[in-house]
């Protein structure tokens, strides 16, 4: 920067102790610049899969093709339909989705059609609700499972920490479904609401990493 007399440096290191971190300009009201990992995640049947973790300021829309490929590798086939944010639905990605014969009920590009399709409107309304699940997943993982408090110094350790947060969330979902199944099969539905409320409240009292360290010390 001194030799070239410039004030900007691409891919610059912002921390000596964490050289893998990069500044990401987000333009949010709370913080215009953020530091940390950008996570590309997908949800299948309520379970979250971490598909991509990067600390560079890149466009997340490039993850869509890779996520479809990962889905095919996990389940042996492509999904029947996907729900994605409008950021992911550029012209190139829409063509890729169409070539894979995958349905996507989002607003089409260009002018809206003059004749309204009631069936498409219902599918679009359902898609909006399902699409909100991924946003709620990030909020829950940050607030409850402390994904917004990653204290690892190494990038590999930080990736493992992030994966553990989502793994814990998936485990809690599995246990909740298992409890519901037990109540349904045993006929103890009168106690189901009370027990499930106690189980859900457990998520709000999970110990923080800092709290665990204090107890150990």
106 closest CA partner among 78, 133, 125, 80:
125
Confidence of residue 11 (pLDDT cuts 50, 70, 90): confident
Cβ neighbours of 141 (radius 10 Å): 21
pLDDT for the residue numbered 47: 93
- pLDDT one-digit tens code per residue, 163-213: 999 999 999 889 888 887 887 777 766 666 666 676 666 554 454 444 333
User: With left for phi above 0 and alpha for psi between -120 and 50, is residue 187 left, alpha or beta?
Assistant: left
Across 131-147, average pLDDT: 86
Taking the CA atoms of residue 146, residue 152, residue 157 and residue 161 in that order, the dihedral angle to the nearest 10 degrees is: -10
Q: How far is CA 44 from CA 62, 145, 201, in A?
A: 20, 19, 24
- pLDDT one-digit tens code per residue, 25-53: 776 667 777 778 888 899 998 899 999 99
Does residue 134 contact residue 41 with C-beta atoms inside 8 Å?
yes
Domain edges within the chain = 23-204
Confidence of residue 215 (pLDDT cuts 50, 70, 90): very low
């Amino acid at each position: 920067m001194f030799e070239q007399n410039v004030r900007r440096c691409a891919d610059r290191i912002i921390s000596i102790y964490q050289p893998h971190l990069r500044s990401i300009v987000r333009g949010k009201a709370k913080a215009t610049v953020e530091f940390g990992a950008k996570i590309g995640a997908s949800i299948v049947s309520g379970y979250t899969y971490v598909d991509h973790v990067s600390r560079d300021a890149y466009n997340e829309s490039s993850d869509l093709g890779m996520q479809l490929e990962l889905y095919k590798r996990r389940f042996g086939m492509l999904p029947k339909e996907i729900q994605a944010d409008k950021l992911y639905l550029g012209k190139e990605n829409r063509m890729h989705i169409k070539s894979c014969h995958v349905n996507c009920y989002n607003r089409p590009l260009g002018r809206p059609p003059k004749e309204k399709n009631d069936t498409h409107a219902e599918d679009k309304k359902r898609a909006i609700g399902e699409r909100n699940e991924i946003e709620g997943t990030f909020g829950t993982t940050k607030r409850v499972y402390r994904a917004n408090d990653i204290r690892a110094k190494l990038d590999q350790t930080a990736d493992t920490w992030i994966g553990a947060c989502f793994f814990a969330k998936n485990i809690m979902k599995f246990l909740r479904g298992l409890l519901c199944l037990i109540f349904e099969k045993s006929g103890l539905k009168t106690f189901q609401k009370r027990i499930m409320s106690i189980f859900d409240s457990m998520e709000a009292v999970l110990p923080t990493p800092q709290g665990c360290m204090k107890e150990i010390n």
